[in-house]
């Protein structure tokens, strides 16, 4: 496998074009699951039950159809995504990327303001599409090994996507319009390797609106500080606990202070706090406990912890230390809600979007969550509307024996392992593709 230092510079091929058409809403389901609180309860964290509503009028779906003959679905001229940003200051991003990247254009028109990617997303995109074959063939035939070829494929997609969001980046003076690309998941326990990989990716992508994704593992917390101090903007990913989130904030602040830059306005960051996976794990623990009190807390842990993370965000980005950095042009490290798709079909499909709306935040949504929110989501500030109740839920879970530290560590291990498996699987797929194309891997 190629090391970071051995990879060649990517080509900057022009963007390809794609046709856009409108899918008929008649092909979509006519019922959806509604979420209602029990009678007499006003708590957004209260117990719930399901109901079915018939003949709900869906809009044309905002779903990227990677390399499909029909292209992407057409976009409404104005959606709730515009309202989300303009009324509440939250940036809606799209958690997906594939070729042709111009399929993102209707989503941008619908209010999407950035893109996130990860090894699992590229594994799906590259392994399920023929759109990468020509470039891949050229790369391997010109002497690149499989891993080096992988990075060239990824870099081209990231560069092309950055170009699409460049106008948003410029209009917001570097406040939005970012595209994220992650360092190799194999480096999650390698502090120095992560720093070097981040520097390399930043250099070869060579776009002002790229975020280099670094996992929030303990070995990578120092990496975050070092990369920020080098003036490189970072998306810190795989955050599952408040304690680790605070370490991420401190790494960002330490990095800004260590940079020596007189103008900090172009060094920005987001902290990707994962949501749905928290409920997936804690729900299992609650079901094992099995008491009525425990079962009543299912589906509430993730949003409660997120609300407390936002409270910490407000605290850390205020006061003398932060104000001193603001004088040099520093921007807040925005909280980004990740893993916003609903894993439990019994829950409302906007559960990890609607209750997490607040200023200076980002919500990155895969197809399911994005389409659901555009179709029937409502826009209002919710993230700090009932912090005391969130604190109560957090404490109640602790009293039941839920160890938040264990939850965070377990989910981090699972997250890193999942990305490693996706990365390794994709390299295997590319090797098979090289074999099928009668190419020889070096």
The pLDDT of residue 437? 75
136, 104 Cβ separation under 8 angstroms = no
Relative orientation angle of helices 191-205 and 221-229, to the nearest 10 degrees: 40
The pLDDT of residue 66? 60
The pLDDT of residue 440? 53
412, 240 Cβ separation under 8 angstroms = yes
Which one, of 316, 303, 321, lies nearest residue 360 by Cα?
Answer: 316
The pLDDT of residue 435? 87
Q: pTM of the entire structure?
A: 0.83
Residues 6+ away with beta carbon under 8 Å from 324: none
Residues 6+ away with beta carbon under 8 Å from 163: 15, 207
Segments of the chain scoring below 70 in pLDDT = 1-76, 439-442
The pLDDT of residue 195? 98
Catalytic residues: 213
């Amino acid at each position: 496998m190629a090391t970071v230092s051995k990879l060649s510079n990517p080509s900057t091929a022009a963007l390809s074009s794609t046709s856009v058409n409108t899918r008929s809403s008649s092909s979509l389901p006519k019922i959806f699951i509604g979420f209602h609180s029990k009678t007499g309860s006003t708590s957004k964290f209260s117990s719930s039950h399901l109901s079915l509503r018939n003949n709900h009028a869906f809009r044309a779906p905002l779903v990227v159809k990677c390399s499909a003959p029909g292209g992407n679905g057409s976009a409404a001229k104005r959606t709730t995504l515009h309202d989300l940003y303009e009324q509440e200051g939250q940036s809606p991003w799209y958690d997906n990327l594939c070729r042709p990247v111009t399929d993102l254009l209707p989503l941008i028109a619908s209010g999407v303001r950035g893109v996130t990617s990860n090894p699992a997303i590229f594994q799906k995109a590259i392994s399920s599409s023929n759109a990468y074959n020509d470039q891949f063939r050229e790369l391997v035939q010109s002497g690149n090994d499989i891993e080096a070829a992988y990075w060239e494929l990824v870099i081209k997609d990231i560069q092309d996507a950055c170009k699409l969001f460049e106008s948003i980046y410029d209009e917001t003076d570097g406040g939005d319009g970012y595209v994220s690309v992650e360092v190799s998941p194999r480096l999650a326990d390698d502090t120095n390797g992560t720093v070097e990989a981040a520097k390399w990716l930043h250099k070869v992508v060579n776009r002002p609106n790229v975020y280099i994704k670094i996992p929030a593992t303990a070995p990578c917390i120092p990496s975050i500080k070092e990369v920020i101090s080098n003036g490189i903007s970072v998306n810190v990913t795989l955050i599952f606990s408040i304690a680790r989130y605070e370490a991420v904030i401190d790494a960002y602040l330490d990095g800004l202070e260590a940079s020596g830059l007189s103008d900090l306005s172009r060094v920005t960051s987001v902290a990707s706090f994962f949501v749905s996976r928290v409920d997936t794990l804690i729900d299992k623990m609650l079901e094992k406990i099995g008491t009525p009190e425990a079962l009543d807390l299912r589906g509430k842990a993730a949003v409660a912890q997120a609300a407390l993370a936002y409270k910490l965000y407000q605290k850390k980005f205020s006061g003398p230390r932060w104000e001193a950095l603001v004088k040099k042009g520093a921007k807040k490290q925005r909280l980004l809600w990740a893993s916003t798709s609903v894993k439990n079909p019994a829950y409302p499909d906007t559960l990890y979007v609607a209750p997490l709306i607040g200023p200076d935040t980002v919500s990155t949504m895969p197809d399911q969550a994005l389409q659901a929110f555009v179709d029937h989501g409502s826009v209002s500030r919710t993230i700090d509307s009932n912090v005391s109740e969130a604190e109560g839920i957090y404490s109640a879970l602790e009293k039941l024996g839920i160890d938040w530290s264990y939850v965070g560590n377990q989910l981090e291990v699972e997250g890193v392992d999942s990305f490693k498996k996706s990365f390794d699987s994709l390299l295997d797929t590319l090797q098979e593709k090289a074999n099928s194309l009668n190419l020889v891997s070096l």
